Structure 1
Amino acid sequence: MIGITAYGAYVPRLRLQKKAMAQANAWLAPNLMGKAKGERSFGNWDEDAITFAVEAARDALGNDDDRSHIKALYFASTTAPFADRLNAGIVQAALTLDATIQAADISGSQKAGLTALAQALCVAQAAPNGAHPAILVAAGDRRVPKAVSAQEFDYGDGGAAMVVGRDQILAEWLGGAASTVDFVDHFRGSDEDFDYHWEERWIRDEGFQKIVPPVLKRALANAGLEPAHIDHFILPSTFKGVAEGLAKKIGLKPEAVVDNLAAQVGETGCAHGLLMLAGVLEKAHPGQTILVAQFGQGCEALVFKVTDEIATFKPAKGLSGWLANRKEETSYMKYLVFNGLVEWDKGMRAEKDNKTALTTLYRYNDGILGLVGGKCKVTGTVQYPRTRISVAPNAPEVDTQEPYKFAERAARILTYSADYLTYSMNPPNHYGQIDFDGGGRIFMDIADVEPGEIDSGTEVRMAFRVKEWDDRRGFTRYFWKAVPVR
């Protein structure tokens, strides 16, 4: 048996109300008032496709420091920050996965997330007898459409993750099918910031209606199932009624169609099929069957059967937990600023050179990207960063420290500041001393926080975020931040 052994999701906390978006643009595009129901997720200014994928993977992997069972990593995104740097390598470093794993980026299509999952399943299936490889698939997208566009209402930000393997299978892989068709419903050139979209009726009638059904039928045939046997049908689409129409066309039960989260999240790009799958697995019962498909220059479809093991696993927070962890946002201007859609006066304090010393980043990679400090083998003193000399009072032992991971440790705020004078994309700038259970103290930024919300003693968790950008050279710098536990 090959299948899904763990799953996770991530949805950013901020939820922009579509009514506020429509009202802000009613003078220019009154036709958009028809999209004014519900809300869409959007990432904080310091989140991107990589940070979404890392959070979703942590949701799947849990807080265990030992992740040596992961032997490969596939990162799927169409909005990855680097065109020529292994984005999956950043995910690997943040999750402190072994350097011996294979890692790859998968992109170029909205079905990239499901394609990555299919590739992982095939790799696990091809493993030698007796081998039990665990493969992590992590997807994230932060698609930024033009302001005052329909896509601005339809899109959402988020990520999802799946672990594939042979042990303690939650959902057995029964089969699948795929097609590759150069049907261009939208595109984004390598030197362009925004997608260019074609006409909706063409995409729906010539794309979804003609390209998807044959793939779904082949996937069901390969799995040995009739359409009526499917309990959950997942097909992301921003067009209303597409999934329902395709279900009827191939003979699926109407009640099998899974809600596409349009009113709560929006469509999270190539991660959305996996995000919906994570939501289904969270509620699924043993024996139920799942057909998940995603469209994009062809179609990818996979069929799973839920096993009895489904009751033994729970993600750290799960899609339901992230959906509940929401902050209603009505400021359309905040959305524009966070997504770089307006130029604003950042002030003189923002005028600095953010060049990253790549040599330093390499030498201290586990400390910067993995938040790995040190623990003295003689005194037991925990510290960050890891240094040759221990900080233990009156016991400055030399070369006695071993790696000590902080990212999954419980922590609390010792002291903090809410600073309106320093430059911040979301003032006031919160930062302070964070104390960790078991020892260790780190001075760091505090994210996803409102003025007056925190105090000394507030419980926090670590979140992998963008630290700053080097706009001059096009480099994104990452580090960890403290986020209040809600």
Structure 2
Amino acid sequence: MVGITSYGAYIPMLRMPLAVIGGGKPGGPEKAVANWDEDALTMAVAAAIGCLEGIDRSTVDGVFFASTSYAFKEKQGAAIVAKALDLRRDVVTADVGDSLRAGTTALRAALDAVKAGSAARVLVVAGDTRMAAPRSPLEANLGDGAAAFLVGDADVAAGLDAGHAVADEIIDVWRREGDPFVHTWEDRFVVDHGYRQNVRDVVRGLLEKTGSSARDFGKVALYGPDARSHAAVARELGFSSDQVQDPLFGRVGNTGAAFAPLLLAAALESARPGERLLVVGYGDGADALVFSVTPAVARLRDRRGVGWHLARRAEVAGYDKYLRFRQLLATEHDRRAGAGISATIHFRDRDEDVSLLAHRCRRCGTTQYPFQRVCYRCYARDDFDKVRLSDRRGTLKSFTFDAFAGSPDPPLIATVTDVDGARLYLQMTDASPNEVKLDLPVELTFRRIHEAGGTPNYYWKCTPAR
């Protein structure tokens, strides 16, 4: 049986009340927004770390990364994800983009790869941070998030039963080269001729192919451009409100290529053995996949899923701060300034900077970061093993608040953090100065450090363990 063996999810901690977009007071419905140092790729890495918890990473044969908002146009994101996760050098990597259903397309491609025997385990990650024009009607519906699935043929928690797809050529939602914002045509046209038509066709085609009815599914993870259209299509297809997975409008928002995958991850959190799950993605057509839940789903209950991330929240302090995070408001400091990082230095230090590997002395066991030739404790020379620090917790040993560092969200919190005995100089993120104290337990998170030269530079930061 081929299917999903593990899953992970990531929703940014920050929430923006929808009322503040129009100048109102905080409170009421909200959307999840990425912090200034987060993007589609960093969120995908975070979801993948949760997905791979307790799993030998050397068994992963491939990484498929789905996004419509990845920063580079000619540089593979899946390769960065694989490096950040410290996966094998010979993994197959591929990016899937340019469509809102890239997430479900990548998932189907991974299922096909495992079924064909070209890979035993494939990691699928989807993340998006799409932007609409400030204060436009579309802005309230878009949110940020990511999801990850490990696909294999052993210890399957949700086995693939069937799939169906339709393709369509329609100009409904689009973004051209260089456009910062998503564009959309008239709402009724988009819903009636794009979303409603394609989702209805793919679901009805799947039901006919499998001889199933709408009542045969325990949960339906259904893509939707907005809450009203989502509910209307669900009713039209014959799904009851109990069957439809909460689309998270008013709490997270539409997370683009990660939207249907994120809802599928949420459905898996409470899925029972024997249930059938239907996931439907939309974008220039539609995808539909059916999974049957197995007893193996019980071992995934402790995953950091959607529920855990929904409970972990903090409000953005005003709409202007959100605009600064997105570089849509003029500021004194430009994170894009400068000549950029040296490609040679990046290549030389990528094991330490991207994979966060340290040296552990074979003689005395001392962990040291960055790489050393001589152990500072026992003075052994060139006698080390590489160890990964990114999935371990640390302790805060020193910190300072820098109000003049040019951070979009001052003060910048600089720390010395102990991880397995190694001392790392790290910035802290997703933290209030009020909660920072010595010996604070922290975990590590992959983030953007700066965008000098106009390209993102990624490294690790620490964040309070929650």
State the TM-score, normalizing by the size of structure 2.
0.96
Structure 2 distance, partners of 1:351, 1:123, is 39
Residue matched to 2:384: 401
1:116 maps to amino acid = A
Structure 1 distance, partners of 2:209, 2:345, is 51
Which of residues 95, 104, 116 is equivalent to 1:126?
Answer: 116
Residue 23 of structure 1 and its aligned partner are, at CA, apart by: 2.2
Structure 1 distance, partners of 2:181, 2:240, is 37
* Cα offsets for 1:291-325 (capped at 9, x unmatched): 11011100011011111111112354211111111
Residue matched to 1:424: 407
Please provide the CA RMSD for this pair.
Answer: 1.9
Larger mean Cα displacement after TM superposition, 242-251 or 166-175: 242-251
* Cα offsets for 1:216-239 (capped at 9, x unmatched): 122234444222211211212133
1:165 to 2:145 alignment:
no
Structure 2 distance, partners of 1:70, 1:63, is 13
CA contact (8 A) 1:375 1:381 kept: yes
Residue matched to 1:59: 50
Residue 463 of structure 1 and its aligned partner are, at CA, apart by: 0.3
Structure 2 distance, partners of 1:223, 1:126, is 21
CA contact (8 A) 1:377 1:402 kept: yes
Structure 1 distance, partners of 2:92, 2:225, is 34
Structure 1 distance, partners of 2:149, 2:64, is 10
- Report the identity percentage: 33
1:380 maps to amino acid = G
Residues 246/421 of structure 1: CA separation in 2 closer, same or farther (3 Å cut): closer
Residue matched to 1:485: 465
Structure 2 distance, partners of 1:288, 1:461, is 35
Residue matched to 1:380: 365
1:358 maps to amino acid = A
SS at the partner of 2:107? helix
2:405 maps to amino acid = T
Residues 421/208 of structure 1: CA separation in 2 closer, same or farther (3 Å cut): closer
1:178 to 2:165 alignment:
yes
* Cα offsets for 1:349-405 (capped at 9, x unmatched): x7963521111211221111010010011121110011222222xx22111111011
Residue 9 of structure 1 and its aligned partner are, at CA, apart by: 0.4
CA contact (8 A) 2:276 2:291 kept: yes
Q: Which runs of 5+ in 2 are unaligned?
A: none
CA contact (8 A) 2:159 2:293 kept: yes
Residue matched to 1:210: 197
Structure 2 distance, partners of 1:18, 1:104, is 35
2:300 maps to amino acid = F
Structure 1 distance, partners of 2:267, 2:386, is 38
Structure 2 distance, partners of 1:202, 1:189, is 20
CA contact (8 A) 1:141 1:158 kept: yes
1:447 maps to amino acid = T
SS at the partner of 2:246? coil
Structure 1 distance, partners of 2:262, 2:337, is 38
CA contact (8 A) 1:8 1:315 kept: no
* Cα offsets for 1:191-235 (capped at 9, x unmatched): 222222101101111112222222112223444422221121121
Structure 2 distance, partners of 1:240, 1:479, is 36
* Cα offsets for 1:437-483 (capped at 9, x unmatched): x321111111111122111011100000001112x3x3210000010
CA contact (8 A) 2:226 2:249 kept: no
Q: Which runs of 5+ in 1 are unaligned?
A: 27-32
Write out aligned runs for 1:323-362 (5 A): 323-346=310-333, 353-362=338-347
Residue matched to 1:30: none
Count of residue pairs brought into register by the alignment: 466
* Cα offsets for 1:331-358 (capped at 9, x unmatched): 11111100111111228xx796352111
1:291 to 2:281 alignment:
no
2:50 maps to amino acid = D
1:444 to 2:426 alignment:
yes
